[in-house]
């Protein structure tokens, strides 16, 4: 952080940052497991991150890919929050985006994917620009499906 003390008529010390352009294809923000998301502070950090992107650019959509937990987690410690269901969490996020943030339902895409031993109990968050393909929930990397995206 820098503090600049300037005369009233002086120009700012640096140019203002230019706004970022809209991406051309879907961009993955991250993959978050249910262990991280059960902590309210971390869950809010993830939610606020992509909600801010949606509020800043009304052309963008969010694609949330959920995978259920297939293996029962070990016993929860007394100081830990209870386990969460990624499917229920994403439903709450969708409702909050529409009701509190004013994001239209057609900008929120939810894909319920199957889980496997290596990918379970998680939520992938993607930002999707208009006309871009949706992410492929079964791709090995950050690939997208060649399909029609929401308008």
Tokens of 90: 């994403």
How high is the pLDDT of residue 7? 84
Could you tell me the residue range of the domain that residue 100 belongs to? 35-71+79-128
In a domain, 39, yes or no: yes
CATH of the domain at 115: 3.30.1330.60
- Specify the pLDDT at position 47: 98
User: 52 lies in a domain?
Assistant: yes
> How far is C-alpha 123 from the geometric centre of its chain's CA atoms?
8
Structural domain count of the chain: 1
Q: What pLDDT tens digit does each residue of the chain (151 aa) get?
A: 677 788 888 887 776 666 667 889 999 999 999 999 999 999 999 999 999 999 999 999 999 999 998 877 667 788 889 889 999 999 999 999 999 999 999 999 999 999 988 899 999 999 999 999 999 999 876 455 554 444 4
Give, in degrees to the nearest 5, the angle at Cα 46 between 45 and 47. Answer: 95
Closest by CA to 23, choosing from 151, 133, 146, 137, is 133
Domain assignment present for residue 115? The answer is yes
Residue with tokens 């600049």: 4
Its pTM stands at: 0.79
Structural domain includes residue 104 = yes
Neighbours of 143 (CB within 10 A): 13
H/E stretch holding 39 reads none
């Amino acid at each position: 952080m820098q503090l600049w003390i300037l005369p009233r008529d002086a120009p700012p010390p640096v140019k203002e940052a230019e706004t970022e352009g809209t991406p051309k294809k879907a961009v993955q923000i991250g993959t978050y497991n249910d262990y991280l998301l059960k902590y309210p502070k971390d869950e809010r950090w993830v939610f606020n991150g992509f909600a801010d992107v949606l509020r800043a650019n009304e052309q963008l959509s969010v694609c949330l890919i959920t995978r259920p937990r297939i293996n029962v987690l070990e016993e929860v410690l007394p100081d830990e929050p209870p386990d969460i269901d990624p499917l229920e969490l994403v439903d709450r996020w969708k409702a909050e985006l529409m009701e509190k943030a004013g994001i239209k339902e057609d900008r929120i895409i939810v894909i319920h994917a199957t889980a496997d031993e290596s990918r379970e109990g998680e939520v992938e968050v993607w930002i999707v620009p208009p006309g871009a393909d949706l992410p492929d929930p079964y791709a090995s990397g950050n690939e997208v499906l060649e399909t029609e995206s929401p308008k």
